[in-house]
Amino acid sequence: MVVRWELGMRLAGKTAIVTGGARGLGEAYVRVLADEGAHVVIADVLESEGRALAEDLGGRGSFVRLDVTDQTQWRSLVAGVLKDHGAPYVLINNAGIHSFGSVLEDTYDNWRRVQDINLNGPFLGINTVAPAMVAAKQGGVIINISSTCGIIGYGDQAAYVGSKWAIRGLTKAAAIDLAPYGIRVHVVVPGPFATPMTAPFHGELTELVKSQPVPRIGDPAEAGRLIRYLVLDATYSTGSEFFIDGGAMTGISLPGAAE
C-alpha cells in the first residue's frame, strides 16, 4: 500500500539521506520527507526496490547503492550528494538486520555482522555525513532507529538486542558533540510494524501485541508521521528517545486486569 501525506513543502530545497530506505519503515520515511519537498537519497543494497521507489518519487528521489558497513562507500555517497544535491540536512540511519541466537548458541561471526550493520553503520553515517552538515552551517537532523529490544531484554536475540541498546548510547553522545553546530540527534524506538522484515513472524506478533495498551501491529504511515515531527517540529529536543510501540514499554498488562 502506498501512503501519501498532505504536501507541506517545509523541506523544499533540502536534501535527506535514508539508509535502508527501499522498503518497509524506510520507505515510509522516504515518502514523508519527499512529500515535504526534500530530495531524498535512498541508500540501500536492495537495488530493484530502491530504484523503483526513486522513480515513483520523480525528481524528489534518487537511489544509491550503499553497504552501510563500508566507509569508502559512505564517502563516495556523501561526495555524490554534495555534487548533485547540496549538503544533506537530514540523515536517517534506518538500515538494519534482525537475528535470533542466544548467548550460548550464537557465533562471534554473526555477532560481528549484526553490530557492523546495526551499530557501526550508523556510526559511519554520522561520522561521514555530519562533517558535511557542519560545513554547510545550516544545522541538521540525524535520526537513529533502535527498537523495543533496545529498552528491555529479549531472549534468544543477543546480537540484535546488544546492537539496539548501543545505538541509544551513540545517539546521546552524538547529540552532545553536534549540538554546537545546530544539529539535533534523535533515536526512534519502534515496536512491531507490518513490514517485509516482520512478515515471517506476523502470527507471533499478532498475539504479542494483544497485551499492549494499543493492541495491534503498527502501520508504517504512523512511523512516517513521527519522523516528520522530529525533523520539522522537535526543535527543543535532542538526544531524546521517541517511542512508537503501541505503549508496549509502559508495562505489561495482566490477564483480566481490565475486566
- 229 is known as an active-site residue: no
Residue 195, helix vs strand vs coil: coil
CA atoms within 13 A on the CB side of 56: 17
> Strand locations in 79-176, DSSP E?
88-93, 140-145
Cell of 167: 545505538
Residue from 32, 48, 168, 146 nearest 90 by CA = 32
Residue 94, helix vs strand vs coil: coil
Distance (Å, whole) CA 163 – CA 106:
14
The letter for the amino acid at 7 is L
Exactly one of 160, 181, 229, 236 is catalytic; which is it? 160
Distance (Å, whole) CA 67 – CA 90:
19
Catalytic site residues? Answer: 160
